[in-house]
Amino acid sequence: MDSSAYENPFERLSDDLLMNILNRRLWRPLDIGGEKSKERVQLELVSKRFQSVVRTSGSLEWDYMIGSECEEVFMRYMLARSSASASRLTRIALYIGEDLCLMTFLLLLIPQALETLVEVRLFVWDSDPLCVNWEGVFRLLQACRKLTILDITLWDNLPDMPSTVLDFTIPLKPFATLQSLSLYGFAVPGVSFASFIQAFPALQVLELHQLEGESYLVDCSKLKKLFLWRTGGAGEESENPTTVHLPQGLETILSILSCDDSWTLKELAFTKLEHVLLRSAEARKAIVRMPGAVQGLVSNLDPDISPIHTELAVLLLEKLVVEPEAQRILGRVPGNLEKLVDVVIEAELVEGEEVQHRAAGILLSVVQFNPGSREVLAGLPGCVRGLVGFAIQALESGAHMNIRIAHRVLQVLAKLTGNNENGMNPSACLSAVLDQLKTAKVPGLFQGLVDVLDDESARVQKTAGEELARLVHGYDDVKAVAAIPECLSKVVANLTHASWKLQVSSAQTLQNLATDNETARAIVKELGSVDCLFDLVECKRPIVRETALSALYNLAFEPEGRAAIAFSKHLQMVEVLVRILDGKCAESVQEAAAALLGQMALDPASKKDIAAIPGCLPLLTGLLKSGSASVREHVAWVFYGLAEDPKVRKSVAALPGLFPLLSQFLADGASDGMREAGAAALGSLSVDGDTARAVAQTEGCVQGLVGALESGSADVVKEAVKVLRNISGDSQGREMIAREEGAVQRLMNLSKAAEGQEGVREMAAEILQNLEGDPSYREGARELEKREAAGSESSFHSAEGGSLGDPPRSQESKGVAQMMTSPGSRDVRGPDSHGLAERCQLELSPRDDVPSGYIQGTYPGWQARAPRWVMTSALPVCARASKRGVGKAPRAFPSGQHTEGSVITCAYVLQH
């Protein structure tokens, strides 16, 4: 095997290149983190070549902590280094935790490097000024002939604390080559500053803790940069006075903030950085521009690990975020925004509310003044999710500070959608912001609501439940919410909550979610869902009963749902529904009970249960005369379902007055829902020959069915054709159909339609075939043939040369007014006694208006007067559509107030 495959790639590098690489680890004097001495020894243990290169390096960093072992390790290492004829040191950085050993270290290092040492950095903490002869240290370092940089930091000294005073008994000899001197923690008496500065003839940069005493009139004209920690946050720069000078020590501070090693060091670093920030706006700007400054603060935002450091970092970031550059830095990195959000929603802080308020303010500043950050934050579902849930919790806590925090959070969320809610009341702002998030399709909205559905606070649960029920409508919403883990279980659990308002919102949520078949099946499988809903059906509050019944109604659209309802713990379910219909209760509850009973009538087992209840069938017949159109409509669907069973059908067909009542559903002016329900019930009952004959003989029935053939609703037409097909199997029925004016022509139109609902064309052809032997049919057919042969026009004429009530020429070929092509249009009716009456069904969104302008565009020269009537089949949010129509009675619809999903029917009178 080729041994080159195992060759160390570093062996291919030259010594100089390898040295440059290793020096990136061997010399990081301002980076306090890590175990520098240990890392150096480990590099030497990699290989003999690594050991040789490391010892050839002129840089030495060594961290010495308390303990004799550290001193012994250092001495052994230095002896081994000297015996290996290593290169002389040019740079030394010592990190010492105990003053007593400082001179020991220096005496081992300095004498060997008097001719080569260029840079010395001493970082000392836990220092005692009385334990170190600092005058001796300076005189030792004075012997280094090439020393250019000297940095001594007494870390324990705070910017405003008394410092170690450098008052030498004998003036120092000149540091001939020293250019940069940093002495944090040291003071020089003002009166002796002139003699002190004379010891550094080549000095360009001086960083000093403070000048001691009252005499501060010193000559610093020879210095390029001067920084006094205690007296100012920004230093002076003689060459360019407008340039802000920051101390080199800030780099050390930032490196400490970025490491995780020392708790005490970090607290001191925060204090020193705050001291600089408080001094001037110029210093603040300069710090923001320092690489890693803002990011170092963000790295400390971790409430779980270090609450104290989190609070300190938030305090400093609040001062920096006023700078546009800081806003850009915070907003461009997703991790920064995530950390800020974590602080906002974290309540386990020492100064929790105040810190949360500050963090929310930082977040608001970032998204308000940095548009790019909005897209970043909106793309973090976890953040949006947490903010939504927290906003509800904070608002419902009632505490003044929490409400202020919530308002800031809502402002942040509003910014994600490009809106501004600054002036709104926080409570009113919640719904508006959630609507905006939904419209903008910002991910995380629904997860945030679901998260707090099981909150400890009933008020939070109530608000979250109400908002979820209000917002979830439409296929995408349903799928998104249903996919959230534990969503269904939380909603179902809230059905048993003590708050009736939460019970209502939970039932409404299930009602809306059940509009999707797959989700409806999942709800049915959720343990306790059906039983809990039925418990609510027997509640005394009408709104609770109505909402629970509506949810069960939607669940019952699936066979699995009907079966689950039928075999729930309430085995007398249909008896409960019949009892509601027979009792004195709110009309809305009765409507919902009738709707659910209509669904259950489709279940094979429930059909017989319903029919077997004493007095139930007569009761249902009487309800066909109810003052509620919705009750009448749904009871008709009950009969439709019951009549599908042959045995039950006979009992239903024998009910006195049933057929005349159902025939009234087909009268002109009845809603499409009523027509469809009545026709469907009659169709189900007329399957048997005797019943079909009785239906045909019912006064007005055939006339109503024939009139329904021109309905704009395909479902109404389909159900009407079914009934006519059934009764056309009987000779008496055929005769009545053939004699009904317009019946033959309308059936022919349906049988010849190029496109139509599946089965309608075939059923119309079947009816015509059954009618062929009837004299009335033959007479009507011959009349139609004569008209077609003569090229006669239809009952509508063109406006050119026609009567006053004629529509434009473009309509004449169809014999009826042409189908409108505007969005949502369903059909147009022919003329009536008022002239040309156009009747159209429109599905309107909340902002749509009735398109009266469309009339003038479609029929030039004609004008539309005010609508003769406006009626809606007003659906509850997400009420499910099916062949059986809507679940509520038609109600008067206020002009200009449309709700999404409403079906508006408007009749216009056109005048030329």
β-bridge mates for residue 892, sequence order = 871
Task: Read off the tokens for 16.
Answer: 């100089």
Q: What is the 3-state secondary structure (H, E, C) of 536-575?
A: HHCCCCHHHHHHHHHHHHHHCCCHHHHHHHHCCCCCCHHH
Residue 390 corresponds to which amino acid? F
**What was the pLDDT predicted at 910?**
39
Measured from the Cβ of residue 821, the count of other Cβ atoms closer than 10 Å reads: 8
Residues with Cβ within 8 Å of 462's Cβ and at least 6 positions away in sequence, in order, are 499, 501, 502, 505
**What was the pLDDT predicted at 696?**
92
Helix (H) or strand (E) holding 332: helix 324-332
What is the rounded distance in angstroms from the CA atom of residue 159 to the CA atom of residue 181? Answer: 18
Task: Read off the tokens for 471.
Answer: 């917002």
The SS3 of residue 480 is helix
Query: Residue with structure tokens 């408007």?
Result: 906
What is the rounded distance in angstroms from the CA atom of residue 620 to the CA atom of residue 352? Answer: 63
Domain parsing of the chain, residue ranges: 9-237, 667-787
pTM: 0.71
**What was the pLDDT predicted at 838?**
37
Residue 703 corresponds to which amino acid? Q
SS3 content of the chain, % helix, strand, coil (to 5): 55, 10, 35
What is the rounded distance in angstroms from the CA atom of residue 531 to the CA atom of residue 568? Answer: 6
* Pair type for strands 225-228 and 205-212: parallel
Nearest CA to 710 out of 678, 680, 745, 661 is that of: 745
Q: Are 165 and 189 in contact (CB under 8 A)?
A: yes
β-bridge mates for residue 903, sequence order = 843, 873
Residues with Cβ within 8 Å of 115's Cβ and at least 6 positions away in sequence, in order, are 88, 145, 146
What is the rounded distance in angstroms from the CA atom of residue 117 to the CA atom of residue 148? Answer: 8
Low-confidence spans in the chain with pLDDT less than 50: 1, 233-234, 238, 792-912
The SS3 of residue 393 is helix
Buried b (16+ CB within 10 A) or exposed e, 84-98: eebeebbbbbbbbbb
- Which burial class, exposed, middle or buried, applies to 798 when counting CB atoms under 10 A from its CB (0-12, 13-18, 19+)? middle
β-bridge mates for residue 871, sequence order = 892, 905
DSSP string, 153-191: EETT--TTS--EE---SSPPPP-TT--EEEEEEEEEEGG
Alpha helices by DSSP H, 346-425 = 352-369, 371-378, 381-397, 400-416
Whole-number Cα distances in Å, 650 to 634, 685, 746: 20, 9, 32
Whole-number Cα distances in Å, 300 to 356, 360, 364, 386, 519: 15, 16, 20, 20, 43
Domain 667-787 grouped into CATH 1.25.10.10 = yes
Q: Are 815 and 794 in contact (CB under 8 A)?
A: yes
Helices (H) and strands (E) in the chain, counts: 44, 14
Query: Residue with structure tokens 């043939």?
Result: 785
DSSP state of 706: H
Task: Read off the tokens for 470.
Answer: 């209000």
**What was the pLDDT predicted at 346?**
79
